Structure 1
Amino acid sequence: MKVLINMKEVFVIYNEILYIAFIYLSETDGIAKKVLSQARGFSKSMQKCSLLCCEDDSIVHLEIINGEIVNKTIKSRLNQVGSNSKERIMTIKELIEVANALIKNEKMLIYIRHMIPTVSHIRFLKNAKLSGHKIGYEIPTYPYYYEQFHVAHNKMKAIIKICNDIIHWPLIYKYVDNIYTIMSNSNSKVYKKMYLIKNGVEINTKIKFTEKKNEDKFNLIGVGTIWPYHGYDRVIDAIMESKGKLENGLDIYFHVVGESDEISKLERYCKLNNLTGHVIFHGKKFGNDLNELYNISHIGVGTLALNKRNADIDTAIKNIEYLSKSLPIVTSGKIFDISEDSNLYFISKNDQIIDLNEVYKFYKSYKNLYKKDILEKTLVEFSWDSITKDIIRNLNNI
Structure 2
Amino acid sequence: MVKSLAGKTILLGISGGIAAYKAATLCSRLVGLGASVRVMMTEGATKFITPLTLQTLSRHPVATDVFDERDAAIVQHIDWADAADLVVVAPATANVLSKMANGLADDMLSTTLLAVTAPVLVAPAMNVHMWEHPAVIDNVNKLASRGVTFVEPGTGQLACGYVGKGRLAEPDEIVDAIVEILAGPRPLAGRRVLITAGGTLERIDPVRYITNDSSGKMGFAFAEVARDWGADVTLVCGKTDGTPPSGVQTIRVESAEQMKEVVMSRVPQMDIVVKAAAVADYRPLHREEHKIKKKAETLTLSLVRNPDILQAIGEWKQALPGKRAPVVVGFAAETMELERNALDKLNRKKCDLIVANNVAQEGAGFGTDTNIVSVYGADGFAEHLPQMSKKAVAQRVLELAKSRLAPEGL
Is this a same-fold pair by TM over 0.5?
no
Give the structure with higher Rg (CA): 2
State the TM-score, normalized to the length of structure 2: 0.31
